[in-house]
Amino acid sequence: MLIVSADNLSAHDLLGLQKNFTHEKFSRYCLTEYDNINGTSDFIECELRTAAHHQQQIDLLDANPDIVRHTSGIVGKCVFSEIPGLDVTQLCPPDVMHNFMEGLVPVLICLSLLDIISNTQGLNIEKLNGAMSLFKYGSSDVKNCYGSTLTVAQLRLFSIPGTASEKLCILSMLPLMLSAYTLPTHVWI
């Protein structure tokens, strides 16, 4: 069995999948549409990628590249496709850093901040941004410090700007940034 460790972008490049994660078939594990990731789809019923389906799409690629890209997200052959017995759909394990830091963690941060702002006396989005901008990062965190300001609209959309490492930094530093405020006892960050 061959396994290649790569971040999402590199894995998609190696596997011959589209490198855009904001439309159509964006996942290397299933054939869900990007529009279904906000909870409108039952992921248990999601069609998983299989080696047989992948090969069928590769066989159609030269004749119908736009159709294949739209229906499967495949834009080319895997660079390792000549290895006998290789299952391209099982080649790359998940990219935990990006899947969590750009997927789940922003949602948790947004939900927590909305709750904190609405339940903390004297705290609003402007004061939150002020506390974040004045925060003194340690030497090991300066490179990944969170430099963006947030809006309530972003929080409500569960979307905060920044890289995966910046989101990891804000996740770990947020309790310290808000230490001047008496936070609700039910908040877990």
Question: How deeply is 174 buried, as exposed, middle or buried, from its count of CB atoms within 10 A (0-12, 13-18, 19+)?
Answer: buried
Percent of the chain whose predicted confidence (pLDDT) is above 90: 43
Closest CA to 160 of 127, 119, 114: 114
Same domain flag for 135 and 67: no
How many independent structural domains does the chain possess?
2
Same domain flag for 106 and 65: no
CA-based radius of gyration for the chain: 21
Confidence band of 89 (pLDDT split at 50, 70, 90):
very high
Of 1 and 104, which is predicted with more confidence?
Answer: 104
Identity of the residue numbered 55: Q
CA distances from 2 to 16, 19, 74 (A): 17, 22, 20
Same domain flag for 151 and 104: yes
Is 148 within a domain?
Answer: yes
- pLDDT tens string 92-131: 999 888 888 888 889 999 999 999 999 888 899 999 999 9
Closest CA to 147 of 173, 123, 112, 181: 173
Find all residues with CB under 8 Å of 148, minimum gap 6, and list them. Answer: 160, 161, 162, 166
Instruction: Give the per-residue pLDDT at 181.
Output: 79
Is 110 within a domain?
Answer: yes
Same domain flag for 104 and 85: no
Cα dihedral 179, 182, 187, 188 in deg (nearest 10): 30
What is the extent of the structural domain holding 71? Answer: 8-90
Residue 51 has pLDDT above 70, yes or no: yes
Give the Cα separation of 129 and 145 in Å (integer): 13
Among 72, 90, 108, identify where a domain stops.
90
Among 49, 73, 90, identify where a domain stops.
90
Cα dihedral 119, 125, 131, 132 in deg (nearest 10): 120
Structure tokens belonging to residue 139:
């030497």
Among 66, 90, 114, identify where a domain stops.
90
Instruction: Give the per-residue pLDDT at 44.
Output: 67
Same domain flag for 44 and 22: yes
Is 187 within a domain?
Answer: no
Closest CA to 178 of 128, 110, 111, 104: 128
Instruction: Give the per-residue pLDDT at 23.
Output: 79
Is 83 within a domain?
Answer: yes
Instruction: Give the per-residue pLDDT at 144.
Output: 87
Percent of the chain whose predicted confidence (pLDDT) is above 70: 92
Same domain flag for 57 and 116: no
